[in-house]
Structure 1
Amino acid sequence: MADGWRDWQKHVSRPWQPLTIAFLSGVAMAGAIAPLNLWILGWLALAPLWLILRQPHRQVSRRSKILAGTAWAVGYNGVTIAWILDLHPLTWLGIPWLGSVAITLFGWGFIVFWSILRLLTWACLTGWLFGWSGMPKETPGAILRRVLGAIALWCAVEVAWSYTPLDWTPLAFTQSPGNLWVLHLGQLSGPQTISAVLVAVNLLLAEGWRQRSQLRRRFWASAVAIAAIAHLLGLWLYLQPVTSAPDSELRIGIIQGNIPTRIKLFDEGVRRSLEAYTQGYLTLADQGADAILTPEGSFPWFWVNTSRMDDHPFYQALLERNVPAWVGTLGRAEKGGVAQSLFSFGRSGEIVGRYDKAKLVPLGEYLPLESLISRVLPRLSTSAGSLQPGASNQVVETPFGRAIAAICYDSAFPYIFRNQAATGGEFIITASNNDPFNAAMMQQHHAHDVMRAIETQRFAVRATNTGFSGVVDPHGHTLWKSGFRTYETHLATINRLQSQTPYVRWGNLLTPILVAIALLWKLRAKLTADNG
């Protein structure tokens, strides 16, 4: 093993070796994510980058380390979100073919750039606060102090990035939906609980590779022990029964309309939308549905609370069958402008609640710095004008009690679900479009909702336009999933739940605790060194 470490040092000393190794390990980490779901790679694929960053600067320069971090982020995030390229062609929006290519590549590139900033922020903070190379002969305590600091900072940076407009690939995401045992750790303190465990195992494996004989075995044994404890604790949470009241059962109908976005506002799209969702509503109502859910933007025009509402075929069907519905459509935002909304209709057609999409897609639903960017790039949406975001602390009422609602991109932001669960949300309903993206994106979107169902311990009902609609139970099992780009209706039976996981009750306590412990340990070590 010692010879292996010396060989590694020789290889990464060559200019392009760190870059290649980092990029390939980032690609491997992307393989852990849906649709491949090779989740075991999530426990291994960060280790090579850590080995590169831990090299002395005389062997791997700071510049090479920054480039290696960039390469890892490109490999991980660039491959994971390659589905964004399905935006092309945008000619149906009146954009020339070459312009469509340029806009699509810009969108992919900017998202990858944002993920590079996340990785480099973590790497630079870790190096600044805890150092990379250390002394020639470091004690195990000094090594563990750096590892703990890196874990804490990884979680802190993930939390910070989750409050920015772009976030899709936290490290915990690599375990969904395949590793349900470990995903249950999200019930304790959110997805950062899982990320912390993954970073810990990766870094301890890497540190073991750097050491000799007995110390190597201690680091590797620690990594294996953490992974084993995480799985055993997750298994214990997984085996806990979910209790519900006898009268908590709901039969929810799901309509997957399969109306391509490119035709939605044209005559054919309007006709198909009215037919698909109205007929789907009638079918599910006749099957005994208690409520019916439609996707995001099922009717992408203003009609709710207007003079046209009474003449709308879907609304007329609702008045005829008296089955409540949650309908994705456009709404007037409270502060003016347009919102992507999910309206909660009661049995008599009254509006009893509403949810406005909180996390809007940059370029797609609004333009950042619109006065400047609008001169160069158009907005890639069928709605008129930039949309207005809803608040992250909305409360959604239904005829059956409070629900946890989300629209499309909201699924990547766990605090939106946690806030609603903490205020009494008893089940999750998500409405999404997902067109024109491919099945890989749809699998990833489903994986996000699996995580949200487990974290909040709620049933999740998903209605999408083109796939994959689905039903997920509180333990993350997919009870039903639709086909790809098909028209479907489905009647699902779920239960309303009122239990509160530690994450719902107290939020993400783990991250500030880890940061505090790491900084205090660092301060204590510095004071000891100064006094020594």
Structure 2
Amino acid sequence: MKLLSFEHFNLKLPANLNLRKVRYISLSLFSGILMGLATEPLGWWLVTWVAFVPLWVMVVEAKRRGRIPWEITAGWGVGYYGFSLFWMTGIHPMTSLGVPWLASLAIAIFSWVFITLWGTAIVIVWGWLFAKLMPLNIGAKTSLIRILIGTALWCALEAVWSGGPLWWSTLALTQSFGNLVILHLGQISGPNTVVATILVVNGTVAELWLTHKQQKSSLYLIPVGIFAIAHLIGLSLYNIPLNSDPETSLRVGVIQGNIPNEIKLNPQGFRQALNGYTRGYLELAARGVDAVLTPETALPFVWNRHDSYHYNYSLYQAILPQGVIAWVGGFGETEGGLTNSLFTINGEGEIIGQYDKTHLVPLGEYIPFDAILGRVINRLSPLEARLVAGEKQQKFETGWGKAIAGICYDSAFADHFRRQVAAGGEFILTASNDAHYATMMLSQHHAQDVMRAIEGDRWTVRATNTGYSGIIDPHGRTLWISGINTYEIHDHIIYRRHSQTLYVRWGDWLTFLLLAISAIVIFWNRFLSLAIPQNRR
């Protein structure tokens, strides 16, 4: 069977739209969507290892024709980020919060389109830089250089984007939580270790495709071999025994309150939450748990060490005779305003620990570029998105040692968890409220925490409002997961750990190494291309 060559597509296109251009962009869009299918809840993680190939090939072919196809890279980005982030439209309708139906729809569409384009910018910048820096000669050496440069650039861009306020769909997310073996590479240099492996395999397949006329088909065993070696390394890490010491055990209870957002902030919802969390706390305390975790803003009022009005609430009154520590989601106070916080309340009713959410949700919890966008948002809706972000260097005291804490959106930021593990955190606690989203988001949120558990080599306890709550071991195995839109309580034994992975100690060192080697190779390659002709003269 004759192989279809990407050279059949003409990239020197006239000003008016033609069928070949449509096919080219459609192929890019399709391969981006294919990558999106690898994320949860579908979890077709195997397609990840070839879904980047069309984009790679098209960028190289375009460069050979003297142009950089921004519309092709944009098509791939829209396909991947648009599909994997479609759950963002679930914030509509917000009528229960006083937002008019049309304004709610406008906010949902704007949020989804904006974050999709923000992710798409990674692909456009990658394609432009890749085309600028890549060599165009044909040969094994040139292909290796292109694989190196393409991989280093993508990892660098993900590192830059993940340092900003808008981040979610790293390519590593396509492997969570279906491919736990490869996710263990995250213990080496974080999620970018997985990303680099994905790019190397895709890049190798693409380079073999580009030179298939000069190469034997048996060479396609090379990317298969890279794939296998990477998984063998991951398997070796996956098979390391946990060796849990009984003296470090901790029986933790989880309460999934299942309070719909439509009633969460009104008197009915507050009474339902208070009764549900009090009942769950008492039952878990009777089971002999050491501590109880509640979801994000489980009791949405201000908890303050110096005020006493919350002393009359039934949950607080239940803590005093039971003496079991409670980690309660609520609001805190700071000089700049309110914080979205998780509190440790000990058996004497004292607040001995507080973690303030670090990564706030744009438009939901704060308004970016408030001076400009604030006036527009205020016209669309009555929402008050004015929470204050917590400091990055926090330590969460739990009554059972230090914990690594994350509230909702924090889960997307690997370095946030790495810092807390390095500072002595012994286990992970995450509290979330995803009630306004569909199953797609809930699954991906769980997948984020699976990656954080593996990267930090820590037991993880998840408490959510409506699902999925769960218990995850340091190998990323989900030992218990709740249903959706159900009231549930669960207790499970976890273990405090003190190990530190290479990623925890050194951070994302692999990306810096790839960039350094790429810079040397690019300089050396271009220096030789100029120096050799002069020497021959």
CA distance in structure 1 between the partners assigned to 2:127 and 2:378 by the alignment:
35
How many residue pairs are counted as aligned between the two chains?
Answer: 523
RMSD: 1.8
8 Å contact 1:363–1:379 — kept in the other structure?
A: no
Within a 5 Å distance, the mapping from 1:366-381 to structure 2 comes to 366-378=366-378
CA distance in structure 1 between the partners assigned to 2:125 and 2:412 by the alignment: 21
Offset of residue 184 of structure 1: 0.4
Which residue of 2 is the match for residue 92 of structure 1? 96
Match in the other structure for 1:320:
321
Alpha-carbon contact 1:122-1:157 (below 8 Å) kept? yes
Whole-angstrom CA distance in 1 between matches of 2:285 and 2:373: 46
Match of 1:4 in 2: 3
Q: Contact 1:111/1:166 (CA < 8 Å) preserved in 2?
A: yes
Equivalent residue number for residue 535 of structure 2: none
The code of the aligned residue for 2:97 comes to L
Question: Residue type of the partner of 2:215?
Answer: L
TM-score by length of 2: 0.94
Which residue number corresponds to residue 408 of structure 2?
408
User: Are residue 72 (structure 1) and residue 76 (structure 2) matched?
Assistant: yes
Deviation at 1:381, TM superposition (A): 10
Compare 9-18 and 41-50 and name the one that shifted more.
9-18
Q: 1:70 touches 1:116 (CA, 8 Å); kept in 2?
A: yes
Offset of residue 347 of structure 1 = 2.1
CA distance, structure 2, for counterparts of residue 42 and residue 530 of structure 1: 39
**What is the one-letter code of the residue matched to 2:101?**
W
> Any residues of structure 2 matched to 1:115-514 within 5 Å, and which?
115-130=119-134, 134-135=136-137, 138-212=138-212, 215=215, 217=217, 220-305=220-305, 306-333=307-334, 335-378=335-378, 385-514=385-514
Q: Distance in 2 between matches of 1:216 and 1:367?
A: 56
Once the 2 structures are TM-superposed, how far is the Cα of residue 173 of structure 1 from its aligned partner? 0.7
Asked if structure 2 preserves the Cα contact closer than 8 Å seen for 1:29 and 1:46, the reply is: yes
C-alpha displacement at 1:530, in angstroms?
1.8
SS at match of 1:490: strand
> Identity rate of aligned residues, in percent?
46
Task: Identify the residue that residue 110 of structure 2 maps to in structure 1.
Answer: 106
Letter in 2 for 1:317: A
Report the CA distance shift for 1:77/1:218 in structure 2 as closer, same or farther (over 3 A). Answer: same
Output one character per residue of 1:19-77: Cα deviation in whole Å (capped at 9) or x when no partner.
10010001110110100111001111010111111114575843xx2111111111111
- Stretch moving more, 218-227 or 489-498: 218-227
SS at match of 1:54: helix
Structure 1, 304-313 or 468-477: larger mean CA deviation: 304-313
Per-residue Cα deviation, 1:374-406 (whole angstroms, up to 9, x for no partner): 221149999855111112221111211111110
Question: Which residue is equivalent to 2:54?
Answer: 48
The CA distance in 1 between the partners of 2:404 and 2:212, in whole Å, is 52
What secondary structure is seen at the aligned counterpart in 1 of 2:207? Answer: helix
**TM-score, with structure 1 as normaliser:** 0.95
* Kept after mapping to 1: 8 A contact 2:352/2:399: yes
Alpha-carbon spacing, 1:464–1:359, altered in 2? closer, same or farther (3 Å): same
Change (3 A) 1:250 1:259: same
Q: C-alpha offsets along residues 484-523 of structure 1, whole Å, 9 cap, x if unaligned? A: 0100000111111111111111111101001001110111
Q: CA deviation at 1:208?
A: 0.8
Q: What is the aligned partner in structure 2 of residue 36 from structure 1?
A: 42
Change in 2 beyond 3 A, CA 1:57/1:266: same
Determine the C-alpha separation between the residues in 2 that align with 1:56 and 1:505.
Answer: 41
One-letter amino acid of the counterpart of residue 18, structure 1: Y
User: What residue identity is the alignment partner of 1:310?
Assistant: Y
Judged with a 3 Å threshold, the aligned counterparts in structure 2 of structure 1 residues 108 and 151 are, in CA distance, closer, same or farther, namely same
Query: Structure 1 residues 290, 509: CA separation in 2 closer, same or farther (over 3 Å shift)?
Result: same
Contact kept in structure 2, 1:208 and 1:218, CA below 8 Å? no
Residue 216 to residue 164, structure 1, CA distance change in 2 (3 Å):
farther
User: In structure 2, how many angstroms separate the alpha carbons of the residues matched to 1:10 and 1:526?
Assistant: 30
Aligned to 1:15: 21
Structure 1 residues without counterparts, runs of 5 or longer: none
- Segments of 5+ residues of structure 2 without an aligned counterpart are 12-19, 533-537
